[in-house]
């Protein structure tokens, strides 16, 4: 049986006189089961040299995805260069598009739940070389 754990620690002094400290961990398991997630897409990287949007995770690539998770990381270090992350292949890369989840700046990463009911698309903010690292953990 596979075991996949995710951990996050957030500390901040954003609120004067009230430090914030959050430490959470999660064992990724099949829905309603003590059994861990047993499949993965494998750790993938994709290099971009244009601003065109591209589907990086296709909805029909995975089945039985009630408790799946998606990990993504912008491997760059520039806080000026980012990836738009969006759902659906037709999503435009913009701040106003209703399908855009957000921006993944250099060094930023995310872990989100995924039902595999939509494609996940990314679009770089620049034509300079950028690399995205990503993986799907599948139920």
Model confidence at 98, pLDDT cuts 50, 70, 90, reads low
29 secondary structure, DSSP code: B
Do 85 and 104 form a contact (C-beta atoms < 8 A)? Answer: yes
Buried b (16+ CB within 10 A) or exposed e, 19-43: eeeeeeeeebbbeeeeebbeebbee
Pairing of strands 109-114, 5-12: unpaired
Distance separating alpha carbons of residues 105 and 127, to the nearest angstrom: 15
| Residue 3 DSSP symbol | -
In this prediction, residue 92 carries a pLDDT of: 53
C-alpha to C-alpha distance for 27 and 112, rounded to whole angstroms = 14
All domains in the chain, ordered by first residue: 30-138 (2.60.120.770)
Query: Is the CB of residue 104 less than 8 Å from the CB of residue 73?
Result: yes
Alpha helices by DSSP H, listed for the chain, are: none
**What's the average model confidence in pLDDT over 99-120?**
91
CA distances from 59 to 27, 28, 66, 74, 138 (A): 24, 20, 13, 21, 12
pLDDT in tens, 54-67: 999 988 888 767 78
> What pLDDT digit, counting tens, does each position of 5-40 carry?
999 999 998 888 788 999 999 999 888 888 888 888
* Residue-averaged pLDDT of the chain: 88
């Amino acid at each position: 049986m596979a075991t996949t754990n995710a951990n996050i620690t957030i500390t901040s002094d954003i609120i004067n006189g009230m430090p914030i400290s959050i430490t959470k961990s999660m064992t990724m398991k099949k829905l309603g089961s003590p059994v861990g997630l047993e499949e993965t897409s494998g750790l993938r990287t994709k290099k971009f040299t244009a601003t065109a949007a591209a589907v990086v995770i296709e909805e029909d690539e995975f089945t039985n995805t009630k408790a799946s998770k998606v990990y993504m990381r912008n491997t760059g270090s520039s806080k000026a260069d980012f990836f738009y992350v969006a759902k659906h292949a037709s999503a435009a890369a913009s701040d106003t598009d209703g399908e855009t989840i957000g921006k993944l700046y250099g060094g930023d990463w995310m872990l989100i739940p995924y039902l595999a009911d939509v494609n996940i698309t990314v679009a770089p903010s620049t034509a300079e070389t950028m690399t995205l690292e990503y993986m799907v953990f599948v139920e």
